């Protein structure tokens, strides 16, 4: 008996040892051995970037001879490249060496996803010049809205001790074309610019450089006063200007290719130029002037709102449109995809397209602050695409946000796109095996916003797990529907910001934080009453619709033509309002919540059938997370329907699952997750 047990234990241990998987390899799971021999790699020169390209080939490429060529004539491809099959070799050509490395990752991806590498004739040019991750990492190692453990950056150990994960991070980013990183939180500590920290930053910049990644920093507007003991931080004060000028010189001495600054000013309590009666343009330009000689840029955030009576959704537009044309040409305005705050679904931010003389860039959130954090499986590519493909009508039909920001419609300007990173020091980097796909998707779309979500999911699944269709197809279906599912069980039909305060994880539609600012309370956003529900942003309400170009102002402003998935974003709608499918609004809301719950249950059924195709560790991790997601979806549904029912006074349709919680119990839940607002 004893022996038999031993035998069983051994039997189970062997496959575990061979196949144990923890997600640390991300999508970079190229065959570990048997790359081509050195004589089958033709290239000239000996730079760090070229050496990485050669090393990737000799470690992982199993196909024909590869030739790497830099060609001046390809400069117009920017960081792009061509890949051509010529006789019996593959020639990768690029204007810059980094393009060659990107080309190498391209053929490795083809190999990994089992695409034929015969007769290649590929030309790639990135959609955006700056493809940047924003880390909200604090100097104490914590991460604001981080759900994958502590910060990767070990500030205490730097500059002397260097974690191997710095290079692994750079490699993962380069493999999808990400070429920039803002290392620290937008709620920035002035200390980031202290000399000792800059020396640490330099080490990271040196590690990232061969992978084509430039370092940027978030800066605190009060830095001169705090660090330099200037009288104030007024952008028109000569001492302040000199402080920034000297600081720029100091930075570029250490990091000659430093990217520039990201600034959150006069927002949520952060200091800014308005503290001195100056404008955002005054503040941004002061910084732009000191960075200009070195080629640096300023990414100035439009996420500003003040405790005024004005609808929060209107404030960024009101603040920035009057400043159009007043910014230096190395300033770019960084705008969150929606006008509120990274909700499961928002109308797009009306500021896109409205600045005609000032470059604009999108800020997405890859970390799932409002989408179940690292517990829920939500593939964000459909959300990113929805924004990029939204037509602003700024220059007539077809003025999508992609074309406004990628230089097509506003040529000659800096182009950029950013995503708030979901990366931490967890072994799997992102806290959920599937959250890796959102890092991947951001990078792929930053490189080419015309890729479809389906293509991206397909690639990612094959690279990360397996290319067996029995796995790829059902899992792809989960991924592609998952964003709509989370909208359904959290905030369907245009509802938004009914999260519990601080942590933004669970539901709290009853939240009414008296004494605080109204626009931090859920009741401000849903406006439920005996008559109906939704935020009136039409002419009879806040008139936020007027910020959209025609015909969108009319389309959104009219309850009959407003897309139903944004109905409660723009309208206060009677409970008995007839929806397009003939149901009343109340019933429709109930069915949406219910369908969200059902979908997650379906994901569980599908996932459980995937066990034979992948490793046990990742299989069971995802299985456990889906259980949490299923429970949370019921929590959301019960909380929202039971609470809104106190206004609608209508029954929950009898053919859907009954609530399993008491509203009073749900109201008592207080998660202690320790965040502000
Ligand atoms: C909100 C977050 C907050 C951030 C802020 C921002 O809750 O932690 O500081 O956005 O983007 O989504 O500045």
pLDDT of residue 672: 72
CA 185 – ligand 1 centroid, Å = 10
Digit-coded pLDDT (tens) for 20-32: 689 999 999 987 6
Instruction: Give yes or no for residue 15 having a pLDDT over 50.
Output: no
Digit-coded pLDDT (tens) for 55-94: 999 999 999 999 999 999 999 999 999 999 999 999 999 9
Residues of the chain with CATH 3.20.20.80: 130-451
HEC secondary structure over 458-506: HHHHHHHCCCCHHHHHHHHHHHHHHHHHHHHHHCHHHCCCCECCCCCCC
pLDDT of residue 443: 99
Which residue in the list 79, 369, 536, 594 is annotated as catalytic? 369
Mean residue pLDDT across the chain: 95
How far is it, in rounded angstroms, from Cα 326 to Cα 447? 30
CA 55 – ligand 1 centroid, Å = 40
Average pLDDT (537-558) is 98
Digit-coded pLDDT (tens) for 40-52: 999 999 999 999 9
Digit-coded pLDDT (tens) for 410-427: 998 899 999 999 999 999
Report helix, strand or coil for 238: helix
Residues of the chain with CATH 3.30.379.10: 21-120
Which residue in the list 124, 282, 319, 341 is annotated as catalytic? 341
Pocket test of ligand 1: the residue of 145, 316, 520, 675 to mutate, having most ligand atoms within 8 Å of its CB, is 145
- Residue that the structure tokens 């806290």 belong to: 431
How far is it, in rounded angstroms, from Cα 557 to Cα 589? 21
Give yes or no for a contact between 333 and 300, defined as CB atoms under 8 angstroms apart. Answer: yes
Give yes or no for a contact between 128 and 103, defined as CB atoms under 8 angstroms apart. Answer: no
Does CATH number 3.40.50.1000 belong to domain 487-535+572-676?
A: no
Digit-coded pLDDT (tens) for 270-305: 999 999 999 999 999 999 999 999 999 999 999 998
pLDDT of residue 11: 46
Report helix, strand or coil for 218: strand
Instruction: Give yes or no for residue 3 having a pLDDT over 90.
Output: no
Q: Which atom belonging to ligand 1 lies closest to the Cα atom of 145?
A: 8
How far is it, in rounded angstroms, from Cα 44 to Cα 84? 18
For ligand 1, atom 7: residue with the closest CA: 677
Q: What CATH number should be reported for the domain whose range is 130-451?
A: 3.20.20.80
- Which structure tokens are listed for 464? 């990360």
Average pLDDT (306-320) is 91
CA 422 – ligand 1 centroid, Å = 14
Digit-coded pLDDT (tens) for 103-136: 999 999 999 999 999 999 999 999 999 999 999 9
pLDDT of residue 413: 82
What is the value of pTM for the model shown?
A: 0.96
- Name all residues whose Cβ lies below 6 A of ligand 1: 144-145, 186-187, 264, 268, 303, 341-342, 369, 677
Average pLDDT (570-586) is 98
Digit-coded pLDDT (tens) for 135-174: 999 999 999 999 999 999 999 999 999 999 999 999 999 9
How many helical (H) and strand (E) elements, i.e. helices and strands, does the chain have?
A: 20, 15
Digit-coded pLDDT (tens) for 348-370: 999 999 999 999 999 999 999 99
pLDDT of residue 20: 63
341 part of the active site? yes
268 part of the active site? yes
- Whole-angstrom Cα Rg for the chain: 26
484 part of the active site? no
CA 341 – ligand 1 centroid, Å = 8
- Choose the CATH number for 21-120 among 3.60.20.30, 3.30.379.10, 2.40.440.10, 3.40.640.10: 3.30.379.10
């Amino acid at each position: 008996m004893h022996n038999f047990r031993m035998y069983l234990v051994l039997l189970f241990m062997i496959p575990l040892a061979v196949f144990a998987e923890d997600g640390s390899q991300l999508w970079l799971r190229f065959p570990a051995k048997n790359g081509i021999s050195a004589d089958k790699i033709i290239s000239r020169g000996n730079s760090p970037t070229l050496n990485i390209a050669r090393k990737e080939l000799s470690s992982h490429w199993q196909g024909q001879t590869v030739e790497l060529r830099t060609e001046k004539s390809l400069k117009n491809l920017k960081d792009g490249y061509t890949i051509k099959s010529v006789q019996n070799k593959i020639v990768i050509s690029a204007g810059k060496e980094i393009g060659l490395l990107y080309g190498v990752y391209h053929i490795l991806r083809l190999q990994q996803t089992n695409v034929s590498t015969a007769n290649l004739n590929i030309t790639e040019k990135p959609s955006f010049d700056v493809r940047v991750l924003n880390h909200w990492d604090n100097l104490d190692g914590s991460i604001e809205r981080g759900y994958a453990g502590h910060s990767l950056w070990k500030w205490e150990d730097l500059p002397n001790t260097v974690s191997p994960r710095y290079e692994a991070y750079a490699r993962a980013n380069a493999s999808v074309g990400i070429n920039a990183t803002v290392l620290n939180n937008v709620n920035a500590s002035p200390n980031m610019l202290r000399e000792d920290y800059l020396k640490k930053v330099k080490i990271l910049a040196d590690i990232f450089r061969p992978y084509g990644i430039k370092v940027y920093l978030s800066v605190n507007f009060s830095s001169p006063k705090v660090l330099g003991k200037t009288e104030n931080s007024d952008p028109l004060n000569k001492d302040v200007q000199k402080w920034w000028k000297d600081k720029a010189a100091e930075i570029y001495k250490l990091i000659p290719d430093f990217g520039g600054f990201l600034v959150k000013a006069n927002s949520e309590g952060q200091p800014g130029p308005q503290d001195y009666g100056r404008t955002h343009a005054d503040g941004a330009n002061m910084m732009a002037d000191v960075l200009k000689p070195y080629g640096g840029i300023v990414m100035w955030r439009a996420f500003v709102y003040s405790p005024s009576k004005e609808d929060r959704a209107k404030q960024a537009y009101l603040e920035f449109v009057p400043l159009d044309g007043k910014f230096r040409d190395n300033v770019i305005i960084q705008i969150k995809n929606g006008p509120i705050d990274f909700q499961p679904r928002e109308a797009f931010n009306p500021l896109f397209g409205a600045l005609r003389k000032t470059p604009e860039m999108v800020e997405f959130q890859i970390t799932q602050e409002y989408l179940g954090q690292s517990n829920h499986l939500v593939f964000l590519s459909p959300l990113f695409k929805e924004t990029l493909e939204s037509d602003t009508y700024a220059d007539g039909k077809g003025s999508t946000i992609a074309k406004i920001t990628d230089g097509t419609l506003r040529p000659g300007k800096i182009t950029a796109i950013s995503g708030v990173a979901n990366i931490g020091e967890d072994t799997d980097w992102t806290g959920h095996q599937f959250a890796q796909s959102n890092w991947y998707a951001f990078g792929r779309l930053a490189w080419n916003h015309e890729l479809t979500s389906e293509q991206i999911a397909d690639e990612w699944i094959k690279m990360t797990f397996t290319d067996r269709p029995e796995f790829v197809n059902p899992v792809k279906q989960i991924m592609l529907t998952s964003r709509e599912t989370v909208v359904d069980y959290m905030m369907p039909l245009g509802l938004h910001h009914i999260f519990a305060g601080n942590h933004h994880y669970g539901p709290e539609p009853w939240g009414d934080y008296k004494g605080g600012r109204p626009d931090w309370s859920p009741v401000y956003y849903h406006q439920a009453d005996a008559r109906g529900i939704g935020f009136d942003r039409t002419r009879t309400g806040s008139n936020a619709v007027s910020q959209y170009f025609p015909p969108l102002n009319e389309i959104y402003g009219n309850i009959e033509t407003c897309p139903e998935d944004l109905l409660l974003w723009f309208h206060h709608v009677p409970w008995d309002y007839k929806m397009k499918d003939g149901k009343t609004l109340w019933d429709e809301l109930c069915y949406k919540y219910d369908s969200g719950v059902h979908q997650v249950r379906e994901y569980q059924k599908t996932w459980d059938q995937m066990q034979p195709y992948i490793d046990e560790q990742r299989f069971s991790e995802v299985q456990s997370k889906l259980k949490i997601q299923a429970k949370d979806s019921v929590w959301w549904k019960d909380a929202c329907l039971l609470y809104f029912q106190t206004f609608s006074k209508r029954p929950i349709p009898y053919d859907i699952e009954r609530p399993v919680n008491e509203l009073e119990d749900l109201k008592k839940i207080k998660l202690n997750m320790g965040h502000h607002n």
